[in-house]
Chain A
């Protein structure tokens, strides 16, 4: 290992560790200042928010929740939430070190959300669009029956209204506590994309930090156009699983948006501040 590699690895580990605590940082930041998890600089909280939760010093993109994302992407007041009434249950009575029922309760009280996705209709610079926006803070954004159902319903809505569809993903993958029922949500949502595809409805993916597993292997990568947000980590298998399988060191930028762009897996890597304009332009050029 060269010294540079050692530094890279150390930096990477630091970022990952802090990314995990990111929610904590936001919560602790009841004061005026927050510390950037990437460059350590002190940022005025209001300045960070005004800068779309991107560090003004090092351009590090903080992970943001679904509500913040919606506020950033859609025309003010245009987003109308749908299918909020679809709620989770515990079909397998799953218990590991904690019961699934308990985990659902905790996720709700932590986030105020009923599930890991918000679906609805909104406008981006005047363009009407159906959207599913995932929230990593709710059980790692994992896809169980509710996420699959809401994503499918909003796609069917886009189909019925003949308007474009946007999926903003942020998820660790399938929800283990629903086992095969969760796996089948991959099939269900992909079949729904098939309908959009056959009807010639524009479907756009926006992959954000992080997008993995069952999401990458279903509706998350089936877009006609795939945009990845700068710095987002995106992949099928997790880094640790790959390292254990192949027993070799992975490149430090492995599975980043930029890395995937280099290998032709995404169309566009975009800074957060440009996303709205990019989406509006794409919609415009498709005449939708």
Chain B
């Protein structure tokens, strides 16, 4: 673990002691196996306890972890024969949204996701996972391709939001997202969406009007970033932990509210601790969902998708 989150420090401390004991045991030939095992159990128990009780603000840190697996990691671990399809055919290939054809368990899918980097250089290339309108339009082009050739769509979402910039406004950031929301509702093929990290606002929703919406256990999904919310409602961005709490951004909260259909468990220590297990769990969930959705006729599929979003919201009828 090269980047340690503040709440993980006690685990690192215990780990250090374990390493010391191991070295001592090697150097001196003393049998310290019992103590080592004891500490290892302590570390494991502490970790389990910690990860079962993460606060929303701690989940934010995990969801934003620099080493959290990104879209292309998942593609590599879940898919075979990925063929990237570039560009919006209007002059741009937005690198924040990447998509293409691939096979999952031998079956073709159109997989589209928001890509973040792990290094500054990568992040500059992918614009920190903040798509431009042209990225959403590239996604739309790929949705339509999938629709035309009856290939199911899988989207993986990890974004702090659609990019707020001059050109983005001039070229219709709002309408690019809006059109995707409308057009996704009309697709005649199954759509599975997974929020893998940050699911921030319209920029995330622009790929998430799906038949099944899932979230990785420590991902978050919200109408506005907790920092943005805090700076508007509390007039103080440092109140973000309170905002994160109030906004109900965790997979458990959203499952309860009926916003998402499934929570995909992460390995102990978060997805960054074990890419492979995380990807395996995602793959299993995707395949299960596609199997169920493939049984539906086109009309049933579209109707269920409409009704799913139609039912969202809480109000009183006077």
How far apart sit A96 and B246, CA to CA, in the bound complex (Å)? 8
Q: Establish whether residues B169 and A235, one from each chain, have CB atoms under 8 Å apart when the complex forms.
A: yes
Contact A187 B209 (CB under 8 A): yes
> Do B202 and A190 have beta carbons less than 8 Å apart?
no
B222 lies within 8 A of A179 (CB): yes
**Interface presence of B313 (CB below 8 A):** yes
A184 near B185: Cβ-Cβ < 8 Å? no
A29 at the interface (CB under 8 A from B): no
Known contacts A187-B181, A190-B178, A194-B186: A236-B315 contact under CB 8 Å = no
Cβ contact within 8 Å between B257 and A97: no
Residue from A89, A198, A235 in contact with B174 in the complex, judged by beta carbons closer than 8 Å: A235
Q: For the complex, what is the distance from the CA of A96 to the CA of B224, rounded to whole Å?
A: 14
> Is the CB of B1 closer than 8 A to any CB of chain A?
no
The one of A87, A92, A145, A194 that contacts B318, using a Cβ cutoff of 8 Å = A87
> Are A184 and B234 in contact (CB-based, < 8 A)?
no
Q: Is B126 an interface residue (CB 8 A)?
A: no
A200 part of interface (Cβ distance < 8 Å): no
Contact B259 A184 (CB under 8 A): yes
Chain B interface size, under 10 / 10 to 19 / 20 to 34 / 35 or more: 35 or more
CB of B194 closer than 8 Å to a CB of A: no
Q: Would you call B36 an interface residue if the criterion is a C-beta within 8 Å of the partner chain's C-beta atoms?
A: no
Find out whether the CB atom of A187 lies under 8 angstroms from the CB atom of B178.
no
Q: Does A241 touch B at the CB level, under 8 Å?
A: yes
Interface centre among B177, B228, B312 (most CB of A within 10 A): B312
Q: Is B294 an interface residue (CB 8 A)?
A: no
Q: Does A213 contact B (CB under 8 A)?
A: yes
- Interface positions, chain A 121-158, Cβ under 8 Å from B, are 144-146, 148-149, 152
Let me know if A92 and B177 touch, CB within 8 A.
no
Counting chain A residues whose Cβ lies within 8 A of the other chain, the interface size class is 35 or more
Given A87-B316, A179-B223, A250-B178 contact (CB < 8 Å): no
Q: Contact: B315 with A87, CB < 8 Å?
A: yes
Q: A92-B248, A246-B166 are in contact. Are A188 and B223 (CB under 8 A)?
A: no
8 Å CB interface, B211-262 against A:
221-224, 228-229, 232-235, 242-243, 246-249, 254, 257, 259
Given contacts A190-B182, A245-B165, contact A180 B221 (CB under 8 A): yes
Q: Which residues between 144 and 184 of chain B lie within 8 Å of chain A, taking CB atoms? A: 162-166, 168-175, 177-179, 181-183
Chain A neighbourhood of B228, CB < 8 A: 241
> Is the beta-carbon distance between B173 and A237 smaller than 8 angstroms?
yes
Contact indicator A188/B243 (Cβ below 8 Å) = no
Complex interface: chain A residues within 8 A of B169 (CB): 235-237, 242, 254-255
The contact of A194 among B171, B182, B235, by CB within 8 Å, is B182
A221 at interface, CB cutoff 8 A = yes
For A263, the chain B residues whose CB sits under 8 A away are 170-172
Chosen A-B contacts, 12 in total, with CB atoms closer than 8 Å, are A87-B317, A179-B247, A179-B248, A180-B222, A184-B309, A187-B208, A190-B185, A214-B202, A217-B177, A222-B179, A263-B170, A263-B171
- Seen from chain A, the residues whose Cβ lies within 8 Å of a Cβ on chain B are 85-89, 91-92, 94-97, 144-146, 148-149, 152, 174-176, 178-188, 190-195, 197-198, 213-214, 216-222, 235-238, 241-242, 245-246, 250, 254-255, 263, 265
